[in-house]
Structure 1
Amino acid sequence: MKIHPLITKSDELADLCERLAKSDFVCVDTEFMRENTYYPLLCLVQVGNEEEAAAIDPLAPGIDLTPLLDLLTDNEDVLKVFHAAGQDVEIIYNLTGKTPHPIFDTQIAMMAVSQSEQIGYANLVETWMGKTIDKGARFTDWSRRPLTERQIEYAIGDVTYLAQIFPKLLKKLMRTGRGMWLDAEMEKLADPANYANDPGTAWERIRPPSRNREVLGRLKALAAWREREAQDKDIPRGRIMRDETLADLAGHPAKKQEDLAKVRGLSQAWKDNDIGRRLMKVLQNAEPLPADEMPDRPKRGAPLGKEGALVADLLKLLLKIRSREIDIASRLLTRSDELEALAAGVRDLPVLEGWRREVFGRDALDLVEGKLAFAVEKGRLKMTHIDDVAADEPAPPQAPTD
């Protein structure tokens, strides 16, 4: 594989992207800093395929990233391969308003062929390549220039190994027939709605203190205000106010600005500074959340009770057994709260639909309905259908006839 020197000029980048645009896939990774800013600062982009790889300096004076961004967001003929893509995709969305598509995340894909829930890149390389990555440059200030040779070598390694691992992982997915299991997961990853920093929906990420419409209205207004303040100042939203403090204010609003000094998580300065005055104005103008914006109640069914809790525990045991049997990450099949809902009688659940029903959901339903039992065979737990057990049992002896 050819490794290019650090790309700092627009014509070099355009030539590279023109070649990569003819590939079936391109591996992508980024290095960024976000500790002190609202928007992550893109410091380095690494791209490559099976033939070549390069690191691109987005901070180089005058460099035009358009060919690269077009390749990642507009070229539907090239598959974009990432590992743990979420933050990389967020950065690309912030720059373009679009996400890479089509997309493939090797961390998600590993969940379909192993019991790894969130395998890290170093472990991925060790699993597939038998090599150990030097992590010495991992925690570095990527915004400082010039970058060292060690930093660049470390960064490019994130795509050179990935370009070798991806074809092997893809073959295993095809051999096991599990590729289609990941289609919905990859489309969800590429959904631009996941990365939009819309102040109007920021409240949905915060655990609400209650379902009271007035409280939720204040929560929505406060979250939107905090988001705009953080965006304007380009600082992390937590520097304005923590989620817990914001939720407390929504549930127990200050009556006057002086009361802000008594709020846990706010300093004394809030009682008479400008940001405190802006906060009080938001509280005073907040309206109850409209009925059509009320969040859906979680699907819980009837209260579990002691027996229901035992059924939920059995479902979780069943999940562990099935995950081990077919070598798949349990998180890809379902979650604990979904199993508790199933035990409580809820049936409108993802685990009972599509491939998840075939692989796990049908047996889970049989367990709830008393059609499935656990047995021990050669020291290992296994699932046994009641009907199968009955069929295998010898018939009772017939009574003698005269």
Structure 2
Amino acid sequence: MLIHPLITDSDSLEALCERLSRSPFVAVDTEFMRENTYWPDLCLFQIANGEEAAAIDPKAENIDLTPLLNLLVNNEHVLKVVHAGGQDIEIIFNLTGGTPHPLFDTQIAAMALGLGEQVGYSNLVESLLGRTLDKGARFTDWARRPLDRRQIDYAIGDVTHLAELFPKMLERLRRTGRGAWLDQEMERISDPANYVNDPAQAWKKVKIQSRKAEVLGRLKALAAWRELEARSKNLPRGRIMKDETMADVAVHPPTSQEGLGQVRGLSAAWKSNDIGARMMEALNNADPLPASEMPARDERGPGLGREGALVADLLKLLLKVRARESNVAPRLVARADELEQLAAGRREGLGILEGWRFEEFGRDALDLVEGRLAFAIRGGKLVMTRTEPETIP
């Protein structure tokens, strides 16, 4: 494979992208830093197609990334291959407002091939290519310039191996007939809606015990305020206010800005500074959370109840059994919330009752819930036994 020197100029990048645009696929990876910022600090792009590979320096003076971003987001003829690509996709979304498409994630493909729930890249390379990766440069400072040879070699190595992995995994998927299993998952992770950070929804990521509408309303207001403060200052959310401090303020709100000086986790200066004033304004303007937004009291699922919770546990056991028999990662077949909704009586709009998921698991899951299938122990082994004929779709 031809390995190019580090690309730092627009002309070389445009020529590379023109050649890659004629490829059936490109492997893509990024290096970034985000420990001290709200937005990921993009430090390096890597790309390969099996014949050539390159690292692109987005911090190079006057470099225009447009040809690369057009290739990744706007060229529907080239498949983009990533591994656990959520953060890479987020970076591309932040730059363009779009996501790479069509997309193939080797970590998700590994689930369909029975290689694990969240198999790491190093393990995948070792398993399928028989090579051990040198991860020594993984935690270096990618923002510092100049990049040394070891950093560049490490970075390009990720996409050259990825370009080798993809054809091997694709062939295995074709042999097992499981390629179509991945279509829905690949469309899901390439959906731009997944990468929009809506301040109004930020509160849902904060753990809090209270289910009082007044408390959750304050939490929603504080989380939205924190999100906007972090963005405007380009600082991590936790640098503005930690989750546990925010939850505590939502439960025990101070009556005035002066009281912020007594809140554990906040600087005493907040009792008189501008950021404290803005936080108090958000807090004082908070409305109780509407009933339509209130989380279900039983986190195991809407209307699940005690008996339903036991049924959901049986479904999870069935999923483990069927996934083991099919040699597929359980998480690819069904999500826990789907099992809980099925146990609670829902039948419409569940992915496990459609397509290949129904054939592999959903039919048996429905039969178990409706009493046509049961667990039994025979010869010391857990088996399934039918009490009535199976469900016919």
Structure-1-length-normalised TM-score: 0.89
Question: Is the contact made by 2:28 and 2:82 (CA closer than 8 Å) also made in structure 1?
Answer: yes
The 3-state SS of whatever aligns with 1:47 is: strand
* 2:384 matched residue in structure 1: 383
Aligned residues: 387
> Where in structure 2 are the equivalents of 1:271-290 lying within 5 Å?
271-290=271-290
* 2:358 matched residue in structure 1: 357
* 2:104 matched residue in structure 1: 104
Question: Is the contact made by 2:296 and 2:302 (CA closer than 8 Å) also made in structure 1?
Answer: no
* 1:392 matched residue in structure 2: none
Q: CA, structure 1 residues 341+74, in 2 after alignment: closer, same or farther (shift >3 Å)?
A: closer
CA distance in structure 1 between the partners assigned to 2:295 and 2:128 by the alignment = 43
The 3-state SS of whatever aligns with 2:59 is: coil
Report the Cα offset of residue 281 of structure 1. Answer: 1.2
Q: Which amino acid aligns with 1:162?
A: L
Question: Is the contact made by 2:304 and 2:343 (CA closer than 8 Å) also made in structure 1?
Answer: no
> Where in structure 2 are the equivalents of 1:51-62 lying within 5 Å?
51-62=51-62
Residue 200, structure 1, aligned to residue 200, structure 2: yes
Q: Which amino acid aligns with 2:385?
A: T
Report the Cα offset of residue 137 of structure 1. Answer: 0.7
* 1:241 matched residue in structure 2: 241
CA distance in structure 2 between the partners assigned to 1:238 and 1:166 by the alignment = 38
Bigger radius of gyration among the two: 1
CA distance in structure 2 between the partners assigned to 1:202 and 1:4 by the alignment = 42
Q: Give CA deviations for 1:214-269 in whole Å, capped at 9, x if unaligned.
A: 33332222112111111111110111012222223223322111222333322323
Question: Is the contact made by 2:206 and 2:243 (CA closer than 8 Å) also made in structure 1?
Answer: yes
The 3-state SS of whatever aligns with 1:173 is: helix
* 1:372 matched residue in structure 2: 373
Q: Give CA deviations for 1:113-142 in whole Å, capped at 9, x if unaligned.
A: 115111111011011101100111111111
Report the Cα offset of residue 357 of structure 1. Answer: 1.9
Q: Which amino acid aligns with 1:120?
A: G
Aligned residue among 302, 305, 311 for 1:303:
305
The runs of 5 or more residues in structure 2 that have no matched partner are none
* 2:44 matched residue in structure 1: 44
* 2:228 matched residue in structure 1: 228
CA distance in structure 1 between the partners assigned to 2:368 and 2:200 by the alignment = 43
**RMSD of aligned Cα (Å):** 2.3
Q: Give CA deviations for 1:257-287 in whole Å, capped at 9, x if unaligned.
A: 1222333322323222221111111111223
CA distance in structure 1 between the partners assigned to 2:273 and 2:70 by the alignment = 45
Q: CA, structure 1 residues 301+217, in 2 after alignment: closer, same or farther (shift >3 Å)?
A: closer
Question: Is the contact made by 2:37 and 2:236 (CA closer than 8 Å) also made in structure 1?
Answer: yes
Question: Is the contact made by 1:83 and 1:105 (CA closer than 8 Å) also made in structure 2?
Answer: yes
CA distance in structure 1 between the partners assigned to 2:56 and 2:248 by the alignment = 45
Report the Cα offset of residue 164 of structure 1. Answer: 1.0
CA distance in structure 2 between the partners assigned to 1:315 and 1:294 by the alignment = 27
Structure-2-length-normalised TM-score: 0.91
Q: Which amino acid aligns with 1:371?
A: R
* 2:172 matched residue in structure 1: 172
The runs of 5 or more residues in structure 1 that have no matched partner are 389-402
Report the Cα offset of residue 375 of structure 1. Answer: 4.6
CA distance in structure 2 between the partners assigned to 1:343 and 1:70 by the alignment = 45
Question: Is the contact made by 1:222 and 1:283 (CA closer than 8 Å) also made in structure 2?
Answer: yes
Q: Give CA deviations for 1:11-31 in whole Å, capped at 9, x if unaligned.
A: 111110000000111110000
Q: Which amino acid aligns with 2:361?
A: F
Q: Give CA deviations for 1:141-187 in whole Å, capped at 9, x if unaligned.
A: 11111111111111111110111111111122222222222222111
Q: Which amino acid aligns with 2:281?
A: K
Residue 130, structure 1, aligned to residue 119, structure 2: no
* 2:30 matched residue in structure 1: 30
CA distance in structure 2 between the partners assigned to 1:255 and 1:180 by the alignment = 57
Report the Cα offset of residue 370 of structure 1. Answer: 3.0
Q: Give CA deviations for 1:264-321 in whole Å, capped at 9, x if unaligned.
A: 322323222221111111111223345555567763334124xx55544332222111
CA distance in structure 1 between the partners assigned to 2:113 and 2:94 by the alignment = 32
Question: Is the contact made by 1:72 and 1:80 (CA closer than 8 Å) also made in structure 2?
Answer: yes
CA distance in structure 2 between the partners assigned to 1:302 and 1:92 by the alignment = 39
Q: CA, structure 1 residues 104+202, in 2 after alignment: closer, same or farther (shift >3 Å)?
A: same
* 1:398 matched residue in structure 2: none
Question: Is the contact made by 1:209 and 1:248 (CA closer than 8 Å) also made in structure 2?
Answer: no
* 1:265 matched residue in structure 2: 265
Question: Is the contact made by 1:301 and 1:346 (CA closer than 8 Å) also made in structure 2?
Answer: no
Identity of matched residues, %: 68
